[in-house]
Amino acid sequence: MVEAILTGFMGSGKTTIGKLLARTAHCTHLDLDDLIVKYAKKTINQLFAEQGEKYFRDLETELLVKVLEQPGILSTGGGTIGSVQNRQLLEKNTAPVIYLKTSLDSVICRLHGDNTRPLFQSYAAFFTLYQRRMYAYEQSADFTIITDNKSPARIAEEIQSLL
Ligand code: S3P
């Protein structure tokens, strides 16, 4: 079973913090996006463009089920909490769900120039997605950590103090 699950919007630091936590705890870092890419042998951009978002989401759920059984610290994708099914999977799992809460301004700043995220296109659409997901992040979280203006090391320390 995973030991902790990180959630949050794109650019909230789920992968960076997950790696740090895993290194400190001497355990495996599990990254759901990486698993999808390895399994499909395609980038996320390719998956969205060639197979569509639904295909990506189905794969995300399928691999989420499997990865939740593995030991380690799990970094989810920003949209993993988007479906009821995925939220129920997280809820049923005993590992704490840690929401990395990051302001829209910080997220936009961090993702400036990024072209690896198919859903980071127009600012208007990004804003709508952010607003739409906030509630789901809050609801599915056992702990919420505000990440704005904090270094990855400090965020990881805060999380360690909770685990
Ligand atoms: C997505 C977030 C991405 C990735 C995909 C979809 C989303 O993960 O799963 O591009 O819907 O928010 P990150 O949050 O790691 O960027």
Binned at pLDDT 50, 70 and 90, residue 107 comes out as very high
Is 57 close to ligand 1, i.e. is its CB under 6 Å away? Answer: no
Nearest to 129 by CA among 108, 115, 99: 108
For residue 153, the CA-to-ligand 1 centroid distance in Å is 22
Which pLDDT value is given to residue 122?
A: 86
Judge whether residue 94 has pLDDT over 90.
Answer: yes
Per DSSP, the chain holds a count of helices (H) and strands (E) of 8, 5
- What is the rounded average pLDDT of the residues 142-158? 97
Residue 142 annotated as binding?
Answer: no
State the pTM of this model: 0.97
**All domains in the chain, ordered by first residue:** 2-157 (3.40.50.300)
Ligand 1 pocket test, candidate residues 33, 87, 110, 126, most atoms within 8 A of CB: 33
Is 36 close to ligand 1, i.e. is its CB under 6 Å away? Answer: no
CA angle 36, 42, 47 (to 5 degrees): 80
Residue 15 annotated as binding?
Answer: yes
